[in-house]
């Protein structure tokens, strides 16, 4: 199972956008976007010239893919699945990415970042409807109950991540019982509900893959 193992802040600098890949660091003054660090490479100014239509579409796809922490093959398979489903392909793609178990675990504050939530899932600490599921790409359905294994509920990393709930709560399509370390996926989110992806132009991704 492939995954990106390089420096995550470099990805944010490449896209000139905070992708929230490092948990608390992304919200602090140490974030390279806050510090206005330039894009990686020997001559980033040379790449600041006007981009072609293909380059704009590619960058939009890269931002979306990196934000959710998926590799190219898995992202393409998700896109193909979205294209076969009813509705607008771009919006369906976003909702499928939101329904991934690692993302739902992140949204429920079972991890401070999607990468950390993915690790929690891979280690078998997450249950769906009472059954252990260790597949990060598992698609959660409305009504599913996502809970933390009893033995992991006292983990300091988990407790630290859950502390964020009091500050920001959870997204509207989820509900969380902090005491039970248990959340529920209530409904499939609408495009306008995914506010932290408001600047993503998913239609450009559709155009890129439609060439």
Q: What would the two tokens of residue 159 be? A: 């407790």
Report the CATH number at residue 166.
Answer: 3.10.290.10
Which one, of 61, 54, 51, lies nearest residue 89 by Cα?
61
User: Cα separations (Å) of 82 from 19, 92, 184?
Assistant: 23, 5, 23
- Quote the number of domains for the chain: 2
Residues 21 and 72 in one domain: yes
pLDDT for position 211: 77
Same domain? 93 vs 146: no
Domain that holds residue 150: 100-185
Please give the structure tokens belonging to residue 184. 């529920």
Residues 93, 39, single domain; the answer is: yes
Whether residue 107 sits in one domain with residue 72: no
Domain at 25, CATH number: 1.10.1050.10
pLDDT of residue 134: 96
Measuring CA to CA, how many Å separate 91 from each of 197, 200, 208? 11, 11, 15
Question: CA-based angle 15:73:134, to the nearest 5?
Answer: 100
Both structure tokens of 98? 């939101």
In a domain, 21, yes or no: yes
In angstroms, the CA 117 to CA 104 distance is 9
Q: Is 119 within a domain?
A: yes
pLDDT of residue 3 exceeding 70, the answer is no
User: Are 85 and 126 within one domain?
Assistant: no
pLDDT, one tens digit per residue, over 64-111 is 998 898 999 999 999 999 999 999 999 999 999 999 999 999 999 999
Q: Are residues 179 and 146 in the same domain?
A: yes
Give the pLDDT score at 85. Answer: 95
Q: Is residue 138 part of a domain?
A: yes
* Inside any domain, residue 1: no
Same domain, 90 and 105: no
Of 115, 93, 84, 111, give the one whose Cα is nearest residue 4: 115
């Amino acid at each position: 199972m492939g995954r990106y193992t390089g420096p995550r802040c470099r990805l944010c600098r490449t896209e000139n956008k905070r992708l929230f890949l490092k948990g608390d660091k992304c919200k602090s003054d140490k974030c390279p976007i806050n510090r206005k660090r330039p894009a990686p490479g020997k001559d980033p100014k040379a790449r600041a010239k006007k981009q072609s239509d293909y380059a704009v579409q590619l960058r939009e796809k890269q931002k979306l893919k990196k934000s959710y922490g998926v590799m190219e093959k898995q992202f393409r398979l998700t896109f193909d699945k979205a294209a076969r489903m009813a509705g607008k392909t771009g919006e369906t793609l976003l909702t499928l990415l939101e329904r991934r178990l690692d993302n739902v675990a992140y949204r429920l504050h079972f991890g401070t970042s999607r990468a950390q939530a993915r690790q929690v899932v891979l280690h078998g600490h997450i249950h769906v409807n009472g059954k252990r599921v260790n597949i990060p790409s598992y698609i959660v359905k409305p009504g599913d109950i996502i809970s933390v294994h009893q033995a992991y509920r006292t983990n300091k990393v988990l407790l630290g991540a859950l502390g964020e709930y009091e500050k920001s709560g959870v997204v509207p399509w989820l509900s969380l019982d902090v005491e039970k370390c248990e959340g529920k996926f209530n409904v499939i989110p609408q495009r306008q509900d995914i506010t932290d992806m408001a600047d993503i132009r998913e239609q450009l991704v559709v155009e890129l893959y439609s060439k």
